[in-house]
Each structure stands twice: as C-alpha cells, then as structure tokens.
Amino acid sequence: MKIAVDFDGTIVEHRYPAIGKEKPFAIDTLKQLALEGNELILWTSRDGQLLQDAIDYCHKRGLDFYGINSNRPVGSLFEGRTGSTSVKVVADVYIDDKNLGGLPDWGTIYEMIMLKKAQKHRKRSFWKRLFGKRH
Ligand SMILES: [Mg+2]
C-alpha cells in the first residue's frame, strides 16, 4: 500500500520549524510498515532546508522514504512535482495529525492499516474467486 505520512505533529511533536520529540513508536511503526512492503511517502509542507532536516532526522533513525512529497520514487527522473501540475500525493492512506477525529496512537495506526490491508485483500480475493483462474 502507498502510505502518505505527515511529519510535524505526526512523526514528531509539533515544534515547527524545529523538530519536536518523536511521537512514541512512530519511527519503529513506519520502519515495520516499510519492511512489510508498503511504500511510505513523506507528505509535509516543509521544503528547502527544513525538509532536508526532516529527511535527515528520519534517515538517522533508519527510516527512508519511497517518495518525498511525490508519487515518484526518490531519485527517479521526475521526482518532485516536475512534469506534472498536480500537487496531490496519491496514497491508499494518509496519516496526519490534522485528521478529522485526530491522530490515533501509533499502535492503533498500525492496527488500522493491517485491517485496511486485510479488507483490500478480501476484496481482491472476492473478484479472483469470481473471475480468476481455478486451481
Ligand atoms: Mg502536521
């Protein structure tokens, strides 16, 4: 799944432009989700040096992103917004402290994503059952 994740107030406490304390289990949860094959997109209004600070903060803790404010992988030819007029990052889920209803704790976020994945799988299995090959 593509998971867009905000930085300030979500991965760390909101102390913008400084970097606040890590939210409990945020980095470990994201690392686990990346390990499980999810594509993590850093989805933040930070740019320039402040964006780099956030990327470095995560990198030092072993967390690297598939994309940075972009659906294109880091290092790809059209990384960033070049070549497209759309500014929306497309993802299966968005994790943001400004979520309607607020930001759950990271244990709950992990469970919610696992549930969504299972539902997605069940949906696919249903269509596979209907139209897929028999074996
Ligand atoms: Mg935020």
Q: Ramachandran region of residue 71, left (φ > 0), alpha (ψ -120 to 50) or beta?
A: alpha
Q: Output the CA angle 65-46-48, nearest 5 degrees.
A: 90
**Residue 2: enclosing H or E segment and its boundaries?**
strand 2-5
Residue 103 contacts residue 14 (beta carbons within 8 Å): no
pLDDT at 2: 96
Handedness of CA 72, 74, 77, 80 (dihedral sign): positive
In tens digits, what is the pLDDT along the chain, a chain of 135 residues?
999 999 999 999 999 999 999 999 999 999 999 999 999 999 999 999 999 999 999 999 999 999 999 888 887 766 665 566 677 899 999 999 999 999 999 999 999 999 999 988 787 777 777 787 654
Cα 43 to ligand 1 centroid, rounded to whole Å: 9
Cα 2 to ligand 1 centroid, rounded to whole Å: 18
Residue 60 contacts residue 26 (beta carbons within 8 Å): no
Cα 118 to ligand 1 centroid, rounded to whole Å: 27
Domains in the chain: ranges and CATH: 2-131 (3.40.50.1000)
- Cβ neighbors of 98 (< 8 A, separation 6 or more) are 6, 9
Predicted structure pTM score: 0.85
